[in-house]
């Protein structure tokens, strides 16, 4: 029996990671700018739309750059429009731009005739439309002074960086990082703090190294004199205690609580201590809460703390640049279709896909090669499933078709009157007869691969999703603490491994590892002040296998998963037996399964090696597990 052919449930999407694939191929992106005639941007100054997130498995993020007075001197009499890519590095696309009038008709259509490669530099038209023509009311291009641009995009190929590509060789899920949470707990508990911030009668215990990592102002202060580097108390006089606490919370976690009525003070302290991310959060909060009573005060206040007051000059429009995805299509490919002779009701689930802003709907396709129920057993059943509704409320229409070898749509089924999304499932129990699909003369299978195209359009009842033109920078929390480790600034402890010494920070070790917290630093009253920790039985130059061991010994679950993922992806004849033994020693089911598959697939080359002979001699239960895996039986060693 082929050990790879087993099926463990009616939903076999997990086992079919090699077999069923999906991707968003086309989508329409609409960006609207209110009060366009009042824009004050100069030539070369741009408006950036919110990001449009496309897909889940292969995720890409797109946005528009719009220059109301041209991108350069040559286009100063025009509006310039460019499509740009935030992630990944580049993509090969076809696209076209147009302006939607008050009847939703496309005007001023500009088409990129050939396939274009788009990256963060963008691709588009420096002379998209003459500004005077756009502002001329008789042309009807502005609707109540609002410019609405439609960008239709077809993704030919996403060019991913190597580390972004999906790994299909192993099924190891990397847990979400808890770095922010753990460092936040460190701040709340004041563990291993080496400094205090005093605000009036309030004292906040902190860690010099963390303050210096996130704020260049603190860094320069600590390094300005020898005395400052050892200072135990910093006094802040210009801000209330609750404002300083929010700044400290941000430094440790890259997040804040509800800043409510102190947003202006948070903005001021962010500027004073060089925290750009916190500044952007405060600006976004202020922009969301502008009204006729506070706009003048905030305008003058912002000028008082920075020379760049432009964001408040156009503050009324920050809430008026909006975007939406009008429609999209996704292609799902099911390989080796003719061999799928399962039972009725056995389904194959595509990877999830979605298009839109942060709160986008996410969907997937479920395909039943032998029908979803008894009366459809001669058919292939296909359903569109809503996994996450996002802000959408109504599915306007959907279309399902099959792509032949000429990329032509065949066997088209359209539903243009759809109920609200509470149903969460739409499709066809009798989509196409199975024998018709398998008939080669019909040309519906390409190399035994069924390619299903799903096109859909959701409608947000609010019509447009309001979004501000204030971009919160990506968190650099991990890289910041990585730089702190590399620079060895403000270290208070040394880890000794043989002749190697590694300078570290007690507070960060205790925050990330419960073994360091309980067994090393807090086991005796003397240990919290320990300056040297000796780690034996590990060799710093032999990282690959020992990384797993050290992760288990020091209770670092996330590092354990990262180590397992690396070990699974780097198996070879020389080391697979050793790693098979490691999987048993450290109870790693994922590593064990990867080693089993590799050994079974490469048995012929492995049997003559000394490593295999030692495995057979010294680890009979592991060999037994291979036998049971091959026969698809439960192993007694599991």
Q: Is residue 366 within 8 Å of residue 349, measured between CB atoms?
A: yes
Distance CA 358, CA 52 (A): 8
Q: What is the pLDDT of residue 162?
A: 43
Among residues 291, 318, 345, the one where a domain terminates is 318
Residue 476 placed within a domain: no
Distance CA 37, CA 40 (A): 9
Do 156 and 239 belong to one domain? no
Do 357 and 391 belong to one domain? yes
Among residues 271, 295, 318, the one where a domain terminates is 318
Do 268 and 363 belong to one domain? no
CATH of the domain at 240: 3.30.710.10
Under 8 Å CB-to-CB from 441, ≥6 apart: which residues?
A: none
Residue 26 placed within a domain: no
CATH of the domain at 340: 2.60.210.10
Q: Which residues of the chain have pLDDT under 70?
A: 1-24, 55-58, 113, 120, 160-191, 258, 287-328, 355-360, 389-395, 416-423, 458-488, 497-498, 500, 512-515, 517-530, 535-547, 554, 558, 631-638
Do 209 and 276 belong to one domain? yes
Do 309 and 208 belong to one domain? yes
Do 444 and 328 belong to one domain? yes
Q: Which residue has the tokens 């009499």?
A: 77
Residue 502 placed within a domain: no
Closest listed residue to residue 295, CA positions, set 319, 330, 276: 319
Q: Is residue 249 within 8 Å of residue 242, measured between CB atoms?
A: no
Do 185 and 278 belong to one domain? yes
Residue 523 placed within a domain: no
Q: Which residue has the tokens 């993509």?
A: 91
Do 314 and 362 belong to one domain? no
Q: Angle at which helices 241-253 and 263-272 pack, to 10 degrees?
A: 60
Q: By residue range, what is the domain housing residue 108?
A: 35-165
pTM (2 decimals)? 0.39
Closest listed residue to residue 28, CA positions, set 82, 87, 98, 89: 98
Among residues 433, 459, 485, the one where a domain terminates is 459
Do 192 and 300 belong to one domain? yes
Distance CA 325, CA 150 (A): 9
Tokens standing for 158? 């996403």
Do 140 and 259 belong to one domain? no
Q: What is the pLDDT of residue 418?
A: 56
Inter-CA distances, 272 with 225, 255, 266, 280, 307, Å: 20, 18, 10, 14, 14
Which residues are paired to 81 by β-bridges? 66, 125
Q: Angle at which helices 557-569 and 543-553 pack, to 10 degrees?
A: 160
Inter-CA distances, 497 with 186, 410, 501, 502, 540, Å: 26, 65, 6, 8, 7
Residue 290 placed within a domain: yes
Query: How many domains does the chain contain in total?
Result: 4
Q: What is the pLDDT of residue 21?
A: 59
Do 331 and 310 belong to one domain? no
Longest pairwise C-alpha distance within the chain? 89
Determine how β-strand 233-235 pairs with β-strand 195-199.
parallel
Residue 392 placed within a domain: yes
3 state DSSP class of 574: coil
Q: What b/e sequence results for 380-398 when a residue is b if at least 16 CB atoms lie within 10 Å of its CB, and e otherwise?
A: bbbbbbbeebbbbeebeeb
pLDDT above 90 as % of the chain: 5
Q: What is the pLDDT of residue 147?
A: 92
Do 219 and 310 belong to one domain? yes
pLDDT digits (tens, 9 = 90+) for 544-563: 566 677 777 767 776 777 77
Q: What is the pLDDT of residue 496?
A: 78
CATH of the domain at 581: 1.25.40.420
**Would you give the distance in Å from CA 593 to the centre of its chain?**
28
Q: What is the pLDDT of residue 102?
A: 82
Residue 537 placed within a domain: no
Inter-CA distances, 211 with 183, 197, 255, 421, Å: 12, 11, 15, 47
Residue 485 placed within a domain: no
pLDDT digits (tens, 9 = 90+) for 185-218: 555 556 677 888 999 889 988 888 888 877 888 8
Helices (H) then strands (E): counts for the chain: 22, 26
Q: Assign residue 587 a region (left: φ > 0; alpha: ψ between -120 and 50; beta: otherwise).
A: left
Q: What is the pLDDT of residue 584?
A: 84
Distance CA 184, CA 206 (A): 11
């Amino acid at each position: 029996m082929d050990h790879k052919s087993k099926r463990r449930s009616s939903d076999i999407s997990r086992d079919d990671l090699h077999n069923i694939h999906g991707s968003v191929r086309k989508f329409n992106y609409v960006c609207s700018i209110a009060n366009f005639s009042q824009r004050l941007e100069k030539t070369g100054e741009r408006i950036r739309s919110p990001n449009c997130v496309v897909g889940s498995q292969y995720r890409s993020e797109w946005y528009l750059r719009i220059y109301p007075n041209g991108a350069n001197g040559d286009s100063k009499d025009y509006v310039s429009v460019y499509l740009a890519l935030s992630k990944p590095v580049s993509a090969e696309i076809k696209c076209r731009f147009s302006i939607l009038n008050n009847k939703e008709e496309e005007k001023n259509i500009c088409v990129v005739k050939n396939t274009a490669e788009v990256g963060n530099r963008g691709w588009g038209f420096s002379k998209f439309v003459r500004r005077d023509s756009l502002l001329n009311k008789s042309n009807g291009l502005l609707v109540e002074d609002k410019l609405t641009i439609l960008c239709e995009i077809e993704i030919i190929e996403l060019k991913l960086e190597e580390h972004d590509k999906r790994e299909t060789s192993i099924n190891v899920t990397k847990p979400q990082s808890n770095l922010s949470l753990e460092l936040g707990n460190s701040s709340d508990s004041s563990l291993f703090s080496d400094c205090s911030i005093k605000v009036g009668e309030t004292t906040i215990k902190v860690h010099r190294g963390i303050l210096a990592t996130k704020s260049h102002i603190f860094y320069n202060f600590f390094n300005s004199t020898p005395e400052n580097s050892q200072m135990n108390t910093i006094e802040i006089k210009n801000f209330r205690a609750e404002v300083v606490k929010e700044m400290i919370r941000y430094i440790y976690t890259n997040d804040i609580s509800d800043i409510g009525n102190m947003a202006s003070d948070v903005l001021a302290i962010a500027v004073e201590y060089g925290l750009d991310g916190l500044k952007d959060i405060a600006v976004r909060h202020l922009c969301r809460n502008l009204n006729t009573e506070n706009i003048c005060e905030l305008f003058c206040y912002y000028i008082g703390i920075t020379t760049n007051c432009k964001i408040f000059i156009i503050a009324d429009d920050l809430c008026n640049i909006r975007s939406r995805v009008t429609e999209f299509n996704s292609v799902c490919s099911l390989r080796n279709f003719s061999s799928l002779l399962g039972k009725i009701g056995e389904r194959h689930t595509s990877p999830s896909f979605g298009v839109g802003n942060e709160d986008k709907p996410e969907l997937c396709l479920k395909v039943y090669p032998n029908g979803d129920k008894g009366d459809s057993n001669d058919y292939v059943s296909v359903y569109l499933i809503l996994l996450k509704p996002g802000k959408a409320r109504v599915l306007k229409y959907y279309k399902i078709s099959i792509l032949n070898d000429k990329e032509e749509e065949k066997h088209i089924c359209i539903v243009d009157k759809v109920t609200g999304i509470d149903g969460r499932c739409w499709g066809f129990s009798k989509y196409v007869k199975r024998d018709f699909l398998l008939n080669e003369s019909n040309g519906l299978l390409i190399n035994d691969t069924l390619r299903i195209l799903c096109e859909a359009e959701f409608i947000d009842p609010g019509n447009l999703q309001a979004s501000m033109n204030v971009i919160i920078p990506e968190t650099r929390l991990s890289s910041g603490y990585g730089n702190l480790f590399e620079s060895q600034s403000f270290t208070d402890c040394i880890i000794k491994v043989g002749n190697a010494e590694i300078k570290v920070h007690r507070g960060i070790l205790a925050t990330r590892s419960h073994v360091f917290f309980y067994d090393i630093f807090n086991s005796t009253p003397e240990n919290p002040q320990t300056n040297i920790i000796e780690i034996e039985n590990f060799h710093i130059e032999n990282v690959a296998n020992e990384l797993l061991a050290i992760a288990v010994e020091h209770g670092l679950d996330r590092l354990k998963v990262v180590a397992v993922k690396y070990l699974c992806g780097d198996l070879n004849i020389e080391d697979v037996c050793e790693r098979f033994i490691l999987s048993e020693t450290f109870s790693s089911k994922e590593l064990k399964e990867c080693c089993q598959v590799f050994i079974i697939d490469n048995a012929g080359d492995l049997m003559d090696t000394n490593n295999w002979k030692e495995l057979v001699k010294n680890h009979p239960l592991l060999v037994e597990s291979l036998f049971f895996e091959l026969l698809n039986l439960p192993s007694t060693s599991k």
